[in-house]
């Protein structure tokens, strides 16, 4: 609503501006933007970090199961 409400003495809402929408950037949005810009080093680094994390998680669970039986 850009037109203020005028009650005869005061123009209410004369300087009101709607707030701009805020976008929260999540991991997928950042990855998509990075791939479009062309920073391949960042993409490769993130893939490697994810693979290392998954490998450590799998070996950790496997080790916990193995030692729990003994």
Tens of pLDDT, residue by residue over 7-40, are 788 888 888 888 888 878 888 887 788 778 877 7
> Do the Cβ atoms of 27 and 42 come closer than 8 Å?
no
Q: What is the pTM of this model?
A: 0.43
Q: What are the angstrom distances between the C-alpha of 22 and each of 15, 19, 25, 37?
A: 21, 9, 10, 22
Which 8-state DSSP code applies to residue 18? P
CA-wise closest residue to 14 among 23, 3, 25, 29: 3
């Amino acid at each position: 609503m850009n037109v203020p409400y005028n009650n005869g003495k005061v123009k209410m809402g004369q300087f009101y501006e709607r707030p701009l929408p805020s976008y929260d950037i999540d991991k997928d949005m950042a990855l998509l933007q990075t791939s479009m810009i062309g920073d391949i080093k960042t993409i490769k680094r993130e893939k490697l970090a994810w693979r290392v994390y998954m490998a450590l998680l799998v070996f950790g669970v496997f080790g916990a199961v193995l030692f729990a039986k003994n």
